[in-house]
Amino acid sequence: MKIHSLHVYILDLPTIRPHHLSMHTIVTQTIVMACVKSTDGLEGWGEVATIGGVSYGEESPESIKLTAEKYITPLILGKDPTNFDALSHYISTNVKGNYFAKALVESSVVDLVAKSKNIPAYELFGGKCHDSLSVAWTLASGDTGKDIEEAQNCLQLKKHNIFKLKIGKGDPKENVAHVTKIKAAVGDQASVRVDVNQAWDEATSLYCIEALEAGGVDLIEQPLAAWNNEGMTRLVSRFKVPVMADESLGTVQDAYQIAKHRAADVFALKPAKAGGLTATKKIAAIAEASGIPLYGGTMIESTLGTAICAQLYSTIPEMSFGTELFGPLLFKDNVTLNDLDYEKFQLKIPEGPGFGLEVDKEKLKHYAREFVGSTI
Ligand code: MUC
Ligand code: MG
C-alpha cells in the first residue's frame, strides 16, 4: 500500500451558544479535516482544530491547510503509510514547527493504516487501557446564574461532574468570585477547575490562586504566559492546588523542560500541540517518568477530532485528571454519519475500523469553504 493523495478541507461549524475564552469568543468553530487516499483506493481521515484564527496558537486553519498540502504531502506521496512513525519522523526533519499541520496529516495516515487492517486505531498504539473516559464541560456563558443552571442541569442528567471555567478575560477578582459562587452551588457533587489561558501575571496569580484554593477549586490551568516556566515553578511550589501546563506544553522537549523544572503539577495533552499522536504518547511517557498526572485536553474538535484524541488517550494507563473531550457537544451539527456516545459522565471510546467514524460527505460539502482540486 502506498499513499496516493492528500486533500485538506476547512470547515466552519456553528456552535450551540457563544463560548467565551480570554482571546476569542467562538460562535463558529473552524475545523480542518484531511483525507489521505491509498493507491488501492482506501481513505483515511484526520482532523485538528484551533481557536480564533491565530489568537490561540501560531497556526491558523489556512496555514495548516497550506503546510499540509504544499509542504508535507510531497514528502509522503508514494510512501508506505504503515510505517507512520517513521513517516512522522521524516516529516519533522523536513518541516519545522507547524505541529497542528503535522498532527492533521499523521492522524489521517493512522486512520488509513488502521482501516487497511480493519482494526481500531488504538490497537496501533498498544491497545486500550480504558473503555470510557470522564469528560469535563466548560461553563463559558459568562453569566454566573446561567453557568450554575447549566452545571446543575449537567449533574442531573449525568452528563458532566467536572466543570472548567475560562477566566482569563475581565477583572480577575470578579472572575474568582464568579467561580467560587459556582463551586459553592455545586458543592462536592462536582470538581470545579479554571483555565486562565495565560492571562495573569505572577502577582495576580498569587492572590487569585489563594482565593480559588480556599474556595475549593481543584485545578488551575495555565495562569501565566506560555513562556514563563520559572513563574509556573514558583506557583507550583507555593500552592497545594495543582497547576496545569497547557499552552506552555507543546512538544516532547517542552514536556521534558517542564518536568525537569517542575513548572506544572499536571500536563494537558493535546495531539495537535504535540505534532501528532506518536509525539503525544512520548509526552505521556515523560509524564509517567516524572510522576506528573495527565489530563486529556481538547482544541474543541468535532466528532472525528474528538475520536482521534479519545482513542489515543484510551491507550494511556493513568489519565487521572480525566478529559475535556466535549467538543461535539458544543456543535450544532457534525460531519460524520455516526456519532460519539456520551453517558454517565463519560465518553465511550469509539471502536474502529480506524477512529471509528465515517465522514458524511454531503455535510462536508455543505460546511467546507472550498472544494478546488478535491476528489471526494
Ligand atoms: C484550552 O485552552 O484549554 C479547551 C476547552 C475550552 O473551553 O477551550 C479549550 C482550549
Ligand atoms: Mg487550556
pLDDT class for 372, splitting at 50, 70, 90? low
Look at residue 82 and give its three-state secondary structure.
helix
374 pLDDT higher than 60: no
> Cell for 217?
477549586
Which atom of ligand 1 lies at the shortest distance from residue 164's CA?
7
What is the ipTM metric for this complex?
0.98
Phi, psi of 209 (to 5 degrees): -65, -35
What is the pLDDT at residue 375? 61
Measured in angstroms, how far is the CA atom of residue 65 from the centroid of ligand 2?
A: 23
Strands of the sheet with 243-245, listed across from one edge: 137-139, 162-166, 191-195, 219-221, 243-245, 266-269, 294-296
What sign for the dihedral angle of Cα 191, 196, 197, 202?
Answer: negative
Burial of 133 (0-12, 13-18, 19+ CB in 10 A): buried
Q: What is the pTM of this model?
A: 0.97
Q: Is the beta carbon of 246 within 6 A of some atom in ligand 1? A: yes
Look at residue 54 and give its three-state secondary structure.
coil
Q: What is the pLDDT of residues 345-363, one digit of tens each?
A: 999 999 989 999 999 999 9
Measured in angstroms, how far is the CA atom of residue 20 from the centroid of ligand 1?
A: 10
As a whole-number percent, the residues of the chain with pLDDT over 90 amount to 95
48 forms beta bridges with 32
260 pLDDT higher than 90: yes
What is the pLDDT at residue 22? 86
What is the pLDDT at residue 302? 98
Which one is catalytic: 166, 183, 273, 281?
Answer: 166
The alpha carbon of 63 is separated from its chain's Cα centroid by a whole number of angstroms, namely: 19
Q: What is the pLDDT of residues 191-235, one digit of tens each?
A: 999 999 999 999 999 999 999 999 999 999 999 999 999 999 999
Q: Is the beta carbon of 324 within 6 A of some atom in ligand 1? A: yes
370 pLDDT higher than 90: no
Range 12-20 average pLDDT: 94
- Amino acid identity of residue 176, one-letter, is V
Residue 37 annotated to the active site: no
- The CATH-assigned architecture of domain 3-118+357-375 is 2-Layer Sandwich (3.30)
- The answer to whether domain 3-118+357-375 and domain 124-348 are alike in fold is no
Q: What is the pLDDT of residues 267-284, one digit of tens each?
A: 999 999 999 999 999 999
d(CA 219, CA 214): 12
Strands of the sheet with 132-134, listed across from one edge: 132-134, 346-348, 342-343
The full set of domain ranges for the chain reads 3-118+357-375, 124-348
231: number of Cβ within 10 Å: 17
38 pLDDT higher than 70: yes
pLDDT class for 91, splitting at 50, 70, 90? very high
What is the pLDDT at residue 376? 63
CATH number belonging to the domain at 124-348, selected among 3.20.20.120, 3.40.190.80, 3.30.70.2660, 3.40.1190.20: 3.20.20.120
